[in-house]
Amino acid sequence: MKIAVVGATGLVGSVMLEELAQRGFADQEIIPAASPKSVGRQIDFAGRKITVVSPEEAIAQKPAYALFSAGASTSRKYAPLFAQVGCTVVDNSSCWRMHDNVPLVVPEINMDSVGPDQRIIANPNCSTIQMVLALSRLHWQYKIKRLVIATYQSITGTGIKAVRQLEAEEDYFAHHDVLSSTLGDTMRQQLGDQYQPAYPYQIFRNLFPHGGDFNPDGYTTEEQKLVDETRKILGDPTIQVTATVARVPVVGGHSEAVNIEFHKEYDLDEVRRLIAQTPGVILADDPDHNLYPMPIMAHNRPEVFVGRVRRDNTQPHTLNLWCVGDNLRKGAATNAVQILQSLIAR
Q: Say whether 95 is catalytic.
A: no
The C-alpha atoms of residue 57 and residue 37 are separated, in whole angstroms, by 14
Q: Which residues contact 86 (CB under 8 A, 6 or more apart)?
A: 62, 64
When binding is defined by CB under 6 A, the residue of 72, 159, 195, 299 that contacts ligand A2P is 159
Closer CB to ligand A2P, 4 or 319, in the complex = 4
Q: Say whether 87 is catalytic.
A: no
Least distance to ligand A2P from the beta carbon of 107, Å?
Answer: 23
Least distance to ligand A2P from the beta carbon of 41, Å?
Answer: 8
Q: What percent of the residues of the chain are helix, what percent strand, and what percent coil, each to the nearest 5?
A: 40, 25, 35
Q: Which residues contact 311 (CB under 8 A, 6 or more apart)?
A: 268, 318, 319, 320
Q: Which residues contact 217 (CB under 8 A, 6 or more apart)?
A: none
Closer CB to ligand A2P, 159 or 249, in the complex = 159
- Which of 87, 254, 317, 323 is labelled catalytic? 254
Of 54-93, binders to ligand A2P (CB under 6 A) are 55, 70-71, 74
Give the residue among 285, 325, 278 at the shortest CA–CA distance from 127. 325
Closer CB to ligand A2P, 6 or 109, in the complex = 6
Pairing between β-strand 2-6 and β-strand 29-33 as defined by DSSP bridges: parallel
**Does residue 10 touch ligand A2P according to CB under 6 A?**
yes
The alpha helices in the chain, defined as continuous H runs, are 11-20, 55-60, 72-84, 107-110, 126-142, 160-173, 185-191, 221-234, 268-277, 295-298, 334-345
**Does residue 164 touch ligand A2P according to CB under 6 A?**
no
**Does residue 35 touch ligand A2P according to CB under 6 A?**
yes
Least distance to ligand A2P from the beta carbon of 16, Å?
Answer: 10
Beta-carbon-side half-sphere exposure of residue 263 (alpha carbons within 13 Å): 11
Residue number with the smallest Cβ distance to ligand A2P: 10
Q: CA 105, 106, 109, 114 torsion: positive or negative?
A: positive
**Does residue 331 touch ligand A2P according to CB under 6 A?**
no
Q: Which residues contact 84 (CB under 8 A, 6 or more apart)?
A: none
Total of chain residues touching ligand A2P, rule CB under 6 A = 18
- Which of 95, 126, 139, 317 is labelled catalytic? 126
**Does residue 252 touch ligand A2P according to CB under 6 A?**
no
When binding is defined by CB under 6 A, the residue of 2, 23, 28, 38 that contacts ligand A2P is 38
Least distance to ligand A2P from the beta carbon of 300, Å?
Answer: 17
Closer CB to ligand A2P, 59 or 282, in the complex = 59
When binding is defined by CB under 6 A, the residue of 1, 26, 60, 160 that contacts ligand A2P is 160
Interface with ligand A2P by CB under 6 A: which range of 10-18, 112-120, 177-185, 321-329? 10-18
Closer CB to ligand A2P, 321 or 328, in the complex = 328
Closer CB to ligand A2P, 103 or 212, in the complex = 212
Q: CA 197, 295, 123, 132 torsion: positive or negative?
A: negative
When binding is defined by CB under 6 A, the residue of 4, 11, 258, 339 that contacts ligand A2P is 11
User: Residue 238 burial by CB count (10 A; 0-12/13-18/19+): exposed, middle or buried?
Assistant: exposed
Q: Assess contact for 151 and 127: CB atoms under 8 A.
A: yes
Least distance to ligand A2P from the beta carbon of 188, Å?
Answer: 22
The H or E element spanning position 5 is strand 2-6
When binding is defined by CB under 6 A, the residue of 37, 49, 264, 346 that contacts ligand A2P is 37
Q: Decide: helix, strand or coil at residue 319.
A: strand
Which residues are near ligand A2P by CB under 6 A? 6-11, 13, 33-35, 37-38, 55, 70-71, 74, 159-160
Q: List active site positions.
A: 126, 254
